[in-house]
Amino acid sequence: MPSEDFQQATLELFEQDRVGVVEWSFDFALNGAEIDVWSGQILERFSDKNALLGHGVNLSPLSARFSERQEKWLAHARSEFELRKYVHASEHFGFSEAGPIAHGAPLAVPMTPESLRRGQEMLKRYADAVQCPVGLENLAFAFCMEDVKRQGEFIDQLISSVDGFLLLDAHNIYCQVENFGVSERELLVSYPLSKVREIHLSGGSWSFSETGARLAVRRDTHDDVVPQEVFNIATLALKLCPNIQYVILERLAYTMMEPEQQQGFREDFETIEEILELCYV
């Protein structure tokens, strides 16, 4: 959110009081974008009942240099978190600012003592700005198998510096399962599962394999319904992670323009409700 198709897809879920928590990508407004009235009311409502999660997109916590843009981003985060009450704040593992790029999609970094130190410093700045628990989301993208196998341990070292949490994205796990041929359970247990407070579910897409080394490349594009494999990973995660408090269904704006797509989103929401009932009731 905020977009017209998102409102159409979710309105009845909000009206039926089936939504327990909302996550807001609060840096959306940093680029001067306006928050519409409907979305603003939802943010206030969920903030008031201590059920609003903050999710950053463009901080780039593992950039090698601390930039002026990041400094401004943190200042924006500070004022946003003073304006509204959030439960916690998260960001994405990886770097999305370097060289000629101001911000893009996050990419993996070499996992060394130096990159660890830079990441820990940035997380401390983030925690200082938002004055609430901060966490990192596992990354779908990997350059190589080393990125896949070591990410969990490295994230654990990063978040430990701020007593932070892991945001476990089930679709990002699925991307690595498909792209690198690892087992979902083996990959899940490489993460600090006791530190998972929140999980994400979403859909994605396939792109052409340039080399033919795999049938296709799974991409975390948030533009389709949730595949069954992701529901399976999320169910396994719910069983393995003892401290999960929040489950978020993600969808990119303007990717549900047809009524059938909006219905598909609601059906995904219903499936999550059923999984939670199965796991916790």
Residues that bind other proteins in the complex, under the rule CB under 8 A: 63-65, 95-96, 98-105, 107, 109-110, 112, 114-115, 118, 141-146, 179, 207, 209-211, 213-214, 217, 219
- In the complex with other proteins, which residue's Cβ is closer, 169 or 198? 169
d(Cα 245, Cα 238) in Å, to the nearest integer? 10
- In the complex with other proteins, which residue's Cβ is closer, 15 or 210? 210
- In the complex with other proteins, which residue's Cβ is closer, 105 or 253? 105
| CB of 214 vs other proteins, minimal distance in Å | 7
SS3 222: coil
d(Cα 260, Cα 276) in Å, to the nearest integer? 24
- In the complex with other proteins, which residue's Cβ is closer, 42 or 142? 142
| CB of 138 vs other proteins, minimal distance in Å | 16
Question: Tokens 């041929």 sit at which residue?
Answer: 181
d(Cα 156, Cα 259) in Å, to the nearest integer? 41
| CB of 103 vs other proteins, minimal distance in Å | 5
SS3 225: coil
Closest to 266 measured CA to CA, from 9, 22, 4: 9
Structure tokens that stand for 126 in this block: 């983030």
| CB of 102 vs other proteins, minimal distance in Å | 5
